[in-house]
Amino acid sequence: MAGAVILDPDRRIDGLADSKALTAAQRERLHSEITSKAIAWTVVAVGPGEIDRINIHQASLQAMRRAVLDLVPLPDAVLVDAFRIPSLPMAQCGVIGGDRRSSAIAAASIVAKVSRDRMMQELHSADPRYGFDRHKGYATAEHLAAVARFGYSPQHRRSFRPASLFDTIG
Encode pLDDT of 40-87 as tens digits: 999 999 999 999 999 999 999 999 999 999 999 999 999 999 889 999
Rg of the Cα trace of the chain? 17
Q: What is the pLDDT of residues 87-119, one digit of tens each?
A: 999 999 999 999 999 999 999 999 999 999 999
pTM greater than 0.85 (yes/no): yes
**Angle value at C-alpha 108, between 105 and 111, nearest 5 degrees:** 150
Taken in order of first residue, the domains within the chain and their CATH numbers are: 2-113 (3.30.420.10), 127-170 (no CATH)
